[in-house]
């Protein structure tokens, strides 16, 4: 189970550092055994270096929210893959719907960035998800399949730890209205099938397919209980250590239930 926080453009450096420290301390001090949970936080890029230090020795992986597809050069404001790895990043979110919506990022862009991430041994967390009108028109599945087709073209994945897919229905992001567990499971199963066709059933079975969109401590259990929901990519509830770890506690409960 992967519990990842996408902080988006939130927190200044002191607040972000405190949040990371609180998360690390919360994992350390908890009565709950979090060892079966993989954690990641994806703060704003200006925080990465400080958080690499703040999270040193903790089980929390560090991720960025985007990367440029080129190695280096005249791309004002952009951040390269080697910059990210040099400050301790192991993951990078790609193709978030906010990048697609506000910066016209295309599947081809996401694909180029995914190749670049892999070239630098960064695990891409590739976001897919339909808009509300697409769901209402009955097109949700084909939209997500097309996004996968575009984003994963030519990307070789030999083991399950080289890729994460985040299903984030756009209508559920920041709205307080998450997908139902059944809606999430249905789409995650579609994604799993797609990955199995590309990478084989064994690899696909282990690739984390996480859900994002208004995941909170109170709805996490039912979402995470679904067979193909392997964790969460959490926005606003990741901005407080208590709610972020509250979701992780639900993940532990689900894992223990499944094992027991």
Out of 53, 71, 174, 206, name the contact with ligand 13P by CB under 6 A.
174
Cα 95 to chain centroid, rounded: 10
Nearest one of 87, 86, 89, 99 to 126, comparing CA atoms: 99
Residue showing the smallest CB distance to ligand 13P in the complex: 235
The reply to whether 234 sits near ligand 13P by the rule CB under 6 A is yes
| Under rule CB under 6 A, residue 40 binds ligand 13P | no
Which residues, 6+ apart, have CB-to-CB distance to 52 below 8 Å?
A: 62, 87, 88, 89
215 forms part of the interface with ligand 13P (CB under 6 A)? yes
Reduced 3-state DSSP string for the chain: CEEEEECCCCCCHHHHHHHHHHHHHHHHHCCCCCCCCEEEEECCHHHHHHHHHHCCCCCEEEEECCCCCCCCCCCCCCCCHHHHHHCCCCEEEECCHHHHHHHCCCHHHHHHHHHHHHHCCCEEEEEECCCHHHHHCCCHHHHHHHHHHHHHCCCCCCCHHHCEEEECCHHHCCCCCCCCHHHHHHHHHHHHHHHHHHHCHHHHHHCCEEECCCCCHHHHHHHHCCCCCCEEEECHHHCCHHHHHHHHHHHHHHHHHHHC
Using the contact rule CB under 6 A, the part of the chain among 54-62, 189-197, 230-238, 249-257 near ligand 13P is: 230-238
- Rounded CA gap, 20 and 52, in Å? 10
Site string for ligand 13P, 3-32 (x = CB under 6 A): ---x--------------------------
Q: Which is nearer to ligand 13P, 19 or 203 (CB)?
A: 19
Residue 203 beta carbon to ligand 13P: minimum distance, rounded to whole angstroms = 24
Number of chain residues interacting with ligand 13P (CB under 6 A): 14
Considering the complex, state which of residue 8 and residue 198 has its C-beta at the smaller distance from ligand 13P. 8
- CB count, 10 Å around CB of 75? 11
124/213 with CB nearer ligand 13P: 213
Neighbours of 163 (CB within 10 A): 25
Sole window of 52-60, 105-113, 193-201, 232-240 interacting with ligand 13P (rule: CB under 6 A)? 232-240
Site for ligand 13P in 176-195 (CB under 6 A): none
Stretch of 21-29, 99-107, 149-157, 211-219 contacting ligand 13P, by CB under 6 A: 211-219
Q: Which stretch binds ligand 13P (CB under 6 A): 14-22, 53-61, 75-83, 168-176?
A: 168-176
**What is the closest distance, in whole angstroms, from the C-beta atom of residue 190 to ligand 13P in the complex?**
19
- Contacts to ligand 13P from residues 81-110, by CB under 6 A: 96
Applying CB under 6 A, among 173, 184, 203, 209 the residue interacting with ligand 13P is 173
| Least distance from ligand 13P to the Cβ atom of residue 213, Å | 5
**Which residues are identified as catalytic?**
96, 168
Which residues lie near ligand 13P (CB under 6 A)? 6, 96, 168, 173-174, 212-215, 233-237
């Amino acid at each position: 189970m992967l519990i990842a926080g996408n902080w988006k453009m939130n927190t200044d450096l002191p607040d972000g550092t405190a949040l990371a420290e609180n998360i690390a301390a919360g994992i350390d001090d908890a009565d709950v055994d979090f060892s079966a949970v993989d954690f990641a936080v994806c703060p704003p890029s200006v925080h990465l270096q400080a958080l690499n230090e703040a999270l040193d020795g903790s089980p929390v992986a560090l991720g960025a929210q985007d990367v440029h597809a080129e190695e280096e050069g005249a791309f004002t404001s952009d951040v390269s893959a080697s910059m990210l790895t040099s400050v301790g990043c192991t993951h990078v979110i790609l193709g978030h719907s906010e990048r697609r919506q506000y910066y016209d990022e295309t599947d081809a862009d996401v694909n180029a960035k995914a190749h670049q991430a892999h070239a630098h041994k960064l695990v891409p967390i590739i976001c897919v998800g339909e808009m509300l009108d697409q769901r209402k028109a009955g097109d949700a599945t084909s939209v997500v399949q097309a996004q996968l087709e575009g984003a994963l073209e030519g990307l070789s994945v030999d083991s399950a730890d080289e890729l994460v897919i985040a299903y984030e229905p756009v209508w559920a992001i920041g709205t307080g209205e998450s997908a139902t567990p059944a809606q999430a499971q249905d789409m995650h199963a579609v994604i799993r099938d797609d990955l199995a066709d590309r990478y084989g059933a064994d690899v696909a079975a282990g690739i984390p397919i996480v859900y994002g969109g208004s995941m909170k401590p109170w709805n996490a259990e039912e979402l995470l209980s679904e067979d193909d929901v392997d964790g969460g990519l959490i926005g606003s509830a990741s901005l407080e250590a208590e709610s972020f770890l509250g979701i992780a506690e639900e993940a532990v409960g689900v894992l223990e239930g499944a094992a027991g």
